[in-house]
């Protein structure tokens, strides 16, 4: 099942904070570690925080792996509550398909 996620930049904007301020407060709250990845009870809790992984080519080191923390809707609500930030509940994201439009033949 698809879950909408928010990067740290997007989450900071939605919480009306700067990215660095959000990261600092999440580290102080023991949500993120020094590498901006989840720690403690948040590690492996994909209901709140997901870690997007990938690789990129570094000109000196070669292929390098990376991980990026992304918050789900529930995770964003959770950290807003944990940090004492008022946040209106996010709308539920429902996957819906566009209704097919009829193809009219031209004569």
Alpha carbons within 13 A on the beta-carbon side of 85: 20
pLDDT in tens, 55-83: 999 999 999 999 999 999 999 999 999 99
Q: Is residue 32 part of a domain?
A: yes
pLDDT of 100 > 70? The answer is: no
Whether residue 28 is contained in a domain is answered as: yes
With a CB cutoff of 8 Å and minimum separation 6, the contacts of 21 are 12
- Over the stretch 26-58, which tens digit does the pLDDT of each residue have? 999 999 999 999 999 999 899 999 999 999 999
User: Token pair 């959000």 is at which residue?
Assistant: 22
**What's the CA gap between 29 and 34, in Å, rounded?**
12
Residue 92 has pLDDT above 90, yes or no: no
* Cβ contact 96:73 at 8 Å: no
The answer as to whether 76 is a domain residue is yes
| 94 in a structural domain | no
Residue 89 in domain:
no
Do the domain assignments include residue 90?
no
Question: How far from the centroid of its chain's Cα atoms is residue 64's Cα?
Answer: 22
Instruction: Give the total number of structural domains in the chain.
Output: 1
The model's confidence at residue 107, banded by pLDDT at 50, 70 and 90, is: very low
Q: Is residue 91 part of a domain?
A: no
Give the domain extent around 72. 5-83
């Amino acid at each position: 099942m698809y879950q909408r996620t928010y990067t740290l930049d997007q989450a900071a904007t939605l919480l009306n904070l700067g990215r660095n301020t959000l990261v600092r407060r999440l580290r102080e709250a023991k949500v993120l570690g020094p590498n901006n990845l989840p720690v403690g009870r948040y590690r492996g809790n994909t209901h709140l925080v997901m870690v997007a992984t990938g690789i990129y080519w570094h000109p000196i080191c070669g292929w390098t792996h990376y991980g990026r923390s992304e918050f789900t809707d529930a995770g964003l609500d959770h950290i807003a509550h944990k940090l004492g930030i008022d946040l209106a509940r996010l709308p539920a994201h429902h996957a819906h398909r566009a209704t097919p439009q009829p193809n009219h033949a031209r004569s």
